[in-house]
Amino acid sequence: MSADHAHRLKIRVYFEDTDAGGVVYHANYLRWAERARTEALRDMGVPHSDMQRLHGCFMVVRRVTVEYARPARLDDEVTVVTRIRRASASLLLSQEVMRGEEGLALLEVTLACVDVASLAPRRLPEPWLGELRARIVPPETSSLGGTAP
């Protein structure tokens, strides 16, 4: 996480990410966002594996919305910027896929914590909840125009 509490993950666009025209297939933005969320937690010192091993729970996607603005293309280097917007009973994140300063896609992701055995919803354990709350970033203007979630 950076000083502004945003996590940044750089990703190179490979041939496997694109369609025949060299444009990134839309579902790959979701894969990249998942990877960026996992790395953000790891960088905070609260990896998914510890949550499962120590507390018997894990995070699942409850809701995701994506606004696509511009395509990423073969060989582009993109950055997924992850910001925590709310940490309570659920976790709200905004994730922006950028090429330099240009916004390509904006995702709003709601995560819920569930029990490993029953898959029933449960409260996020400490230190995860405290670490997440300490890194909340208020909404701001996104590079796509408008307010980022």
**Residues designated catalytic:** 19
3 close to 69: Cβ distance less than 8 angstroms: no
How far apart (Å, rounded) are the C-alpha atoms in residues 11 and 74? 11
Q: Which of 77, 12, 63, 7 is nearest to 36 (CA)?
A: 7
Neighbour-count burial of 55, counting CB atoms closer than 10 A to its CB (0-12 exposed, 13-18 middle, 19+ buried): middle
Gyration radius from the chain CA atoms: 16
How far apart (Å, rounded) are the C-alpha atoms in residues 39 and 59? 14
The dihedral through the CA atoms of 80, 35, 136, 92 has a sign that is positive
